[in-house]
Amino acid sequence: MNIQEKLLYIQAKVKAPKNLYNSFGKYSYRNAEGILEAVKPFLDEMKCTLTISDEIVAVGDRIYVKANATLWDTEKIDVIAVSAYAREADQKKGMDDSQVTGTASSYARKYALNGLFLLDDTKDPDTDEYAKQTGAEKKDKQPEKGTLIEYASEAAIKTIKIMVDKAGMSMDKVLKKPIEELTADEAAKMIIALKKKLGE
């Protein structure tokens, strides 16, 4: 198995339920720790390791935490990496600076892992809450000019190509636009649909 096939296997098998509950917002959610716990058995089975690292990125006068989730194939020394960003709040009531950075790191790591293992969080209330706090447009509306769009990762695109080929389908019949133009959400939904078609 090459690293793409190993990642495809892990993506098809891993289940990371939303096992935490926010009593104030009345919603269930998952965190990075829960994802890691769910993934560990498959890393051992596939002879892979997973590393997560953070870096601080300045964009204008804003500070972002960039989390990098990297899957390593220990047999062939090959890697696949996915990154995600979370912006540090200007200030957070009751938190010191290190806690503000830690909160941004936790979010960034969670979404980097979501991207790598195709865990769909698009209906998470924490995402809705973020949208309310920032005044962001709802997902079903066209983004305003200048809004950043999160496109599908290289790993997700490769996974879709493998699954479409495995299903014996033609890419131009599956998609109405170039695969490189898929958003992260569209790619996640497409992979879920392909998993069902393949009976995985």
- pLDDT at position 138: 38
SS3 28: strand
- Residue 66 confidence (pLDDT) above 90: yes
Q: 107 and 49, same structural domain?
A: yes
Beta bridge partners of 62: 59
- pLDDT at position 176: 80
Domain-terminating residue out of 113, 142, 171: 142
Mean of all residue pLDDT scores within the chain: 80
Q: 166 and 124, same structural domain?
A: no
What global pTM score does this model have? 0.57
Calculate Rg over the CA atoms of the chain: 18
Structure tokens at 190: 């497409």
Domain limits for position 97: 3-142
CATH number of the domain enclosing 75: 3.30.390
The CB-based long-range contact list for 17-26 (8 Å cut-off, 24+ gap) reads 18/124, 22/125, 22/126, 25/125, 25/126, 25/129
pLDDT in tens, 6-53: 999 999 999 887 877 777 667 777 888 999 999 999 999 999 999 999
Domain-terminating residue out of 142, 167, 192: 142
Residues 6+ apart with CB under 8 A from 68: 52, 53, 54, 55, 81, 82, 83, 112
Q: 117 and 177, same structural domain?
A: no
Q: 153 and 85, same structural domain?
A: no
- pLDDT at position 122: 47
Q: 69 and 165, same structural domain?
A: no
Of 168, 166, 116, which is closest to residue 10 (Cα–Cα)?
116
Q: 133 and 78, same structural domain?
A: yes
The confidence band for 131, taking pLDDT boundaries of 50, 70 and 90, is very low
SS3 84: strand
Domain-terminating residue out of 126, 142, 158: 142
Q: 157 and 119, same structural domain?
A: no
Region 133-148 average pLDDT:
42
- pLDDT at position 144: 43
Q: 20 and 118, same structural domain?
A: yes
How many domains does the chain contain in total? 2
Q: 153 and 118, same structural domain?
A: no
Of 184, 166, 185, 168, which is closest to residue 8 (Cα–Cα)?
166
Q: Identify the H or E element spanning 139.
A: none
Q: Tokens 């957070």 — which residue?
A: 92
Strands across the sheet with 78-87, in order?
48-59, 62-73, 78-87
Q: 136 and 159, same structural domain?
A: no
Q: 162 and 64, same structural domain?
A: no
* Percent of the chain predicted with pLDDT > 70: 80
Query: What does the alpha-carbon distance between residue 186 and residue 30 come to, in Å, rounded to a whole number?
Result: 21
Q: 96 and 163, same structural domain?
A: no
